[in-house]
Structure 1
Amino acid sequence: MRRWAPAGATFAPNPDYRTGRAFASTDHLAADAVVAYVDGVLRGAARGRAEQHLQLCPQCAADVAAQADARSLLRGCHDVSAPSSLIGELSQIPTREFDVRGLHRRSR
């Protein structure tokens, strides 16, 4: 029996995510896929599916164009700085995943 847990309850990959469901050409690209595509880190079959979808979907093509414009603008800004408080908070983000499935916590 599977028990429900909030999405943030585990840092381990979910092996059942989208089981048996392939990407359909009518599915829009997720925001993280748009960013990965623009940044050039989407590889292999995933990049091919994205390119095929972009040829058919003006909405996703516009999202990619907007992300590419934003990326160019940010790369051209050399006088931008972040507050030290933000940099401090960002430095606290874990850089690796932790498997917490074995921890038995009770929420009250």
Structure 2
Amino acid sequence: MDHLGPEAVVSFVDGELTASALHRARVHLVHCPECRAEVRAQRRTSEVVHDSNFTSEVSMPADLFARLKSMAETGCPDGPDAAATPTPRPEGVLDRVETLLRAVRRGGRAD
């Protein structure tokens, strides 16, 4: 029997699963005591973290809050794609041979 992965357990506890994924998780939890235990442990952990964030000792810096709020409102710019990521050029003969072998295995070009 496949178990719920850690991400699925967290998403289940946080209420972030889609309707169909939530249904599958609930059906699985009915039959799997190990995953039910994981969900209980995650809920306890979540409650501890949640409770600890409501003390006057823990606060978010105002500039961080402003930046996060701005990102949420305007969105984040696209980052570089794989083609724009710089890669070092082969330096020696062995580096060039290794690059050529990788390209041959991929069926692509060795730049």
Q: TM-score range by the shorter chain?
A: 0.5 to 0.7
Residue in 1 aligned with 2:99? none
CA drift at 1:71: 1.4
Whole-angstrom distance in 2 between the partners of 1:67 and 1:82: 23
TM-score by length of 2: 0.53
Moved over 4 A (4+): 94-97
Whole-angstrom distance in 1 between the partners of 2:84 and 2:4: 34
Unaligned runs of 5+ in 1: 1-25
Unaligned runs of 5+ in 2: 91-111
Deviation per residue, 1:21-66 (Å, 9 max, x gap): xxxxx21111111111001111211111111111111111101001
Whole-angstrom distance in 2 between the partners of 1:43 and 1:56: 20
Tell me the percent identity. Answer: 29
Aligned residues: 76
Whole-angstrom distance in 2 between the partners of 1:44 and 1:61: 19
Shift of the 38–104 alpha-carbon distance from structure 1 to 2, 3 Å rule, reads closer
SS at match of 2:83: coil
| CA RMSD, Structure 1 to Structure 2 (Å) | 2.9
More helix by share: 2
Is it true that 1:66 corresponds to 2:41 in the alignment? Answer: yes
Q: Between Structure 1 and Structure 2, whose CA radius of gyration is higher?
A: 2
Whole-angstrom distance in 2 between the partners of 1:62 and 1:99: 41
